[in-house]
Chain A
Amino acid sequence: GAGVSQSPRYKVAKRGQDVALRCDPISGHVSLFWYQQALGQGPEFLTYFQNEAQLDKSGLPSDRFFAERPEGSVSTLKIQRTQQEDSAVYLCASSLRVFSGETKNIQYFGAGTRLSVL
């Protein structure tokens, strides 16, 4: 399909395990975002890429969280030594142009990865 694709859709991890979540943005989209959505909450910004450059990682909760987009397309969010509080849905979004809040530069979201840490 032509939308944002995320894998896996569901991930169960034991506390202390490392996990890697993948995002395939819409082809040609310059901007890529990761969000964390806890149950009953809205998505919270984690990090932003413009092509391969990670321009903002201010939302990453701790140094256990790491994201990359080495070739400016596919992105991976890695969480090391997972904790129970990491349980959430991780959403990826992409937009066509450099992000500036312009109303027509819409962010398209993937279906998310639901992470459960036991």
Chain B
Amino acid sequence: DQQVKQNSPSLSVQEGRISILNCDYTNSMFDYFLWYKKYPAEGPTFLISISSIKDKNEDGRFTVFLNKSAKHLSLHIVPSQPGDSAVYFCAASWVRDFGGNKLVFGAGTILRVKS
């Protein structure tokens, strides 16, 4: 079953405008959420994370919002730049009793920022 879903396969945004990427999850055990950015033929690069005890985390142009009741999170990029064009993955995890927190990923959203 798909526990983390990114329902928009792609998004196109004009340079300077806001990009909003969405993610939904089903597993109530998840307590840590991350966004990664990926270019072709490279590994995912960490962008920003949020713990379930918070509803917002901000880092420069990137802000992540978490709505636990709706099991929904979103990534806002303001302002969007052409270099932001990539695939964005939402991931979720929880810490096991034996340690470790395997990540469960969504299928990704392709962001294209047009100049």
- The yes or no verdict on A and B being binding partners is no
Which B positions have Cβ atoms within 8 angstroms of A? none
